[in-house]
């Protein structure tokens, strides 16, 4: 439905909450129009963690509080991150090739213990990855807007850098595995660029769990083809579905998933339960809402 589909009868009810699904077509256009038609709305909740499908200048200028479903998808993505690290550390592509060739050929594998994991975007997903990686005995280096180590989750990191270009390049040069979990915003678009991949440690593995637009795909492909990157595990892309003629399909050192590594059978149900059981009672009781979002920053 569009804003025009809601009649004056609803306006008389003074609606005060809007729940937005990421599957809503043209939500970026329709939500500001809806808020303009219903000025009584006090709170907008996104059923997803990312709000890039909503962010626009018109939304930034509106007054309602906005929240998201951050935290409902992180554990599955963290599990995938460790699987992807092990995929390359244990030579799973080679094992698959050898099985197809019926070849009993031993080779050395790598441990994750003692390796350095760099996390670009130490938000909820980044922290969930750090928790698991720490259990594997990995060193954690994180990049975030506020380089603090105050809370227990932040103290999982051995080092925390700010999000300037020099710090990103430093993280890339120090890390054996790099997890990009940054949201898509004006500031992060193309953040992991050619300079970053030029700085990357030889033989590193790159994982993107955040948003495709954060990464310069051409620069990444160049690093993969040259061997500068040992491999990449990608769940998100600039264009989705990934076109059949995209070169990434042809690279043997790339693990591709169709943006579904948080898509459990209950993931949207759980995200809705968070709205109904956690934040809605807080709203009714006029308590502080969980997961507030900065509409200007985009996360």
By annotation, the residues acting in catalysis are 211, 240, 259
Beta-carbon count within 10 A of 293 CB: 23
Per the CB < 8 A criterion, the answer to whether 199 and 169 are in contact is yes
Distance of alpha carbon 168 from the chain centroid: 17
Cα separation, 81 vs 64, in Å, equals 35
Beta-carbon count within 10 A of 258 CB: 12
CA angle 26, 31, 35 (to 5 degrees): 160
Per the CB < 8 A criterion, the answer to whether 182 and 214 are in contact is yes
Phi, then psi, of 46 in degrees rounded to 5: -95, 135
70: left (phi over 0), alpha (psi -120 to 50) or beta: beta
Cα separation, 22 vs 37, in Å, equals 21
CA dist 295 to 65, 144, 150, 262, Å? 9, 18, 25, 24
204-208, strands of its sheet edge to edge: 159-161, 139-143, 116-120, 177-180, 204-208, 229-234, 254-256
Q: Half-sphere exposure (CA, 13 Å, Cβ side) for 201?
A: 18
Per the CB < 8 A criterion, the answer to whether 114 and 137 are in contact is yes
Per the CB < 8 A criterion, the answer to whether 267 and 76 are in contact is yes
């Amino acid at each position: 439905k569009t804003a025009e589909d809601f009649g004056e009868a609803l306006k008389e009810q003074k609606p005060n909450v809007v729940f937005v699904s990421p599957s809503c077509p043209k939500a970026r256009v329709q939500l500001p129009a809806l808020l303009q038609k219903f000025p009584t709305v006090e709170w907008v909740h996104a059923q997803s963690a990312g709000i890039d499908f909503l962010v626009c200048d018109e939304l930034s200028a509106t007054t309602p509080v906005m929240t998201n479903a951050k935290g409902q998808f992180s554990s599955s993505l963290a599990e995938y991150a460790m699987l992807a690290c092990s995929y390359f550390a244990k030579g799973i592509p080679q094992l698959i090739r050898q099985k197809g060739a019926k070849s009993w050929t031993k080779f050395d594998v790598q441990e994750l213990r003692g390796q350095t994991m760099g996390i670009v975007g130490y938000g909820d997903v980044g922290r969930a990855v750090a928790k698991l990686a720490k259990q594997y005995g990995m060193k954690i280096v994180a990049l975030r807007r506020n380089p603090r180590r105050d809370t227990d989750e932040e103290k999982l990191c051995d080092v925390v850098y700010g999000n300037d270009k020099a710090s990103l390049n430093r993280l890339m040069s120090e890390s054996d595995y790099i997890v990009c979990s940054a949201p898509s915003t004006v500031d992060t678009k193309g953040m992991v660029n050619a300079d970053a991949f030029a700085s990357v440690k030889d033989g590193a593995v790159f994982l993107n769990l955040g948003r495709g637009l954060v990464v310069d795909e051409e620069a990444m492909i160049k690093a993969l083809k040259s061997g500068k990157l040992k491999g990449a595990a990608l769940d998100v892309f600039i264009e989705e579905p990934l076109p059949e003629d995209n070169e990434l399909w042809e690279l043997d050192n790339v693990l591709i998933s169709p943006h579904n590594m948080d898509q459990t059978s209950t993931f949207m149900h759980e995200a809705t339960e968070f709205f109904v059981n956690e934040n809605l009672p807080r709203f009714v009781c006029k308590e502080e809402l969980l997961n507030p979002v900065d509409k200007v920053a985009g996360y």
